[in-house]
């Protein structure tokens, strides 16, 4: 049996139109899973699906804003009608609206929490409706190292990602008896469109804070996703796997 094979599985990835989400969708497809690529940008989603199909994989684009409960419900219905099952959920969708706490607008706080935390909650609810009947599932929430270290100017983002870790543990306890595992991955600084705007000076400073001496690549995170989604990780649940080059050590 091929190690970490996801052949025959169906995975839904949120925020799959670009960056880490897109890399995750492609990696899951390469491991044998059929992919439901979900995000707000339909054009970028279509490009991601073409890339997966060009590599011999199966994929479906489902435009969806995870902050909108109706869109989440309808998106999952489309996915299930197309593939007939759902085995893996990757809650990756996230946004930032940075600002110091003293001056942070309520709208910026609510918007980030609604997408980064409530969005994951809504997707988990829809996924569990299927996974509980199947008596099988893998839920992986993408958190962040800043949820563990804190980060000035990102109180909303940090609170949402820290909440995601707590959500992971609670849901893991609720569904373990049904052969459903729920874990989180906490990436450090990864080269994605979210970190591209950082100046070279800031990137050099980050490298000095990372014991392994480099900013992470998407493949560093996607390898962890594949492992947690696989049969080899069947006895792991309620955990947060740090993928940060040693930047934070619990």
C-alpha 248/C-alpha 250 separation (Å) is 6
Sheet holding 59-63, edge to edge: 59-63, 34-39, 10-14, 88-91, 137-142, 180-187, 240-243
Q: With beta carbons less than 8 A apart as the criterion, state whether 195 and 188 touch.
A: no
Gap between the terminal Cα atoms of the chain: 34
Structural Rg of the chain based on CA atoms: 17
Rounded to an integer, what is the distance from CA 224 to the centroid of its chain?
Answer: 11
Residues classed as catalytic: 157
Q: Which residues contact 92 (CB under 8 A, 6 or more apart)?
A: 13, 14, 15, 16, 20, 21, 24, 142
C-alpha 140/C-alpha 183 separation (Å) is 5
Q: Which residue from 112, 188, 193, 120 is spatially nearest to 154, judged by alpha carbons? A: 112
Q: With beta carbons less than 8 A apart as the criterion, state whether 72 and 126 touch.
A: yes
């Amino acid at each position: 049996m091929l190690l970490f094979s996801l052949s025959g599985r169906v995975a839904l990835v949120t925020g799959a139109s670009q960056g880490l989400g897109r890399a995750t969708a492609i990696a899951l497809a390469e491991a044998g899973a059929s992919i439901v690529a979900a995000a707000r940008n339909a054009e970028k989603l279509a490009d991601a699906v073409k890339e997966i199909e060009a590599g011999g994989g199966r994929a479906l684009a489902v435009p969806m804003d995870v902050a909108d409960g109706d869109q989440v419900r309808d998106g999952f219905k489309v996915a299930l009608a197309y593939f007939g099952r759902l085995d893996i959920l990757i809650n990756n969708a996230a946004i930032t609206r940075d600002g110091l706490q003293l001056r942070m607008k309520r709208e910026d706080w609510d918007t980030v929490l609604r997408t980064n935390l409530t969005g994951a909650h809504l997707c988990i609810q829809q996924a569990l409706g299927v996974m509980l009947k199947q008596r099988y599932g893998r839920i992986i929430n993408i958190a962040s190292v800043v949820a563990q270290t804190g980060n000035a100017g990102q109180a909303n983002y940090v609170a949402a990602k820290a909440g995601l870790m707590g959500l992971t543990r609670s849901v893991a306890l609720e569904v373990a008896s049904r052969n459903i595992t729920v874990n989180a991955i906490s990436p450090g600084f990864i080269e994605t469109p979210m970190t591209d705007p950082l100046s070279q000076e800031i990137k050099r400073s980050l490298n000095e804070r990372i014991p392994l001496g480099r900013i992470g690549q998407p493949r560093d995170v996607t390898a962890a996703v594949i492992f947690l989604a696989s049969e080899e990780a069947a006895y792991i649940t309620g955990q947060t796997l740090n993928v940060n080059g040693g930047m934070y050590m619990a």
